[in-house]
Structure 1
Amino acid sequence: MADEADNAATQTDRATEAAVAAARARVAAGPAAYECDECGDEINPKRREAVPGVRLCFECASDAEYRSRMR
Structure 2
Amino acid sequence: MAVSPTSVILSTGGSTPVIDAADRANSDEARAWELFEASRPRLDGAAPAERDCLDCGEPIPSERLQAVPLTRRCQPCAGEVERR
TM-score normalised per structure 1: 0.50
Q: Unaligned 5+ residue runs, structure 2?
A: 10-18, 42-47
Equivalent position of 2:74 in the other structure: 57
Point out which structure has higher relative CO (alpha carbons under 8 A, 6+ apart).
1
Q: How far apart, CA to CA, are the structure 2 residues paired with 1:22 and 1:12?
A: 15
SS across alignment from 1:50: coil
Matched with 1:13 is: 25
1:45 aligns with 2:57: no
Q: Which amino acid aligns with 2:50?
A: A
Runs of 4+ in 1 over 4 A off after TM superposition: none
State the percentage of identical aligned residues: 17
In structure 1, list runs of 5 or more residues that go unmatched.
none
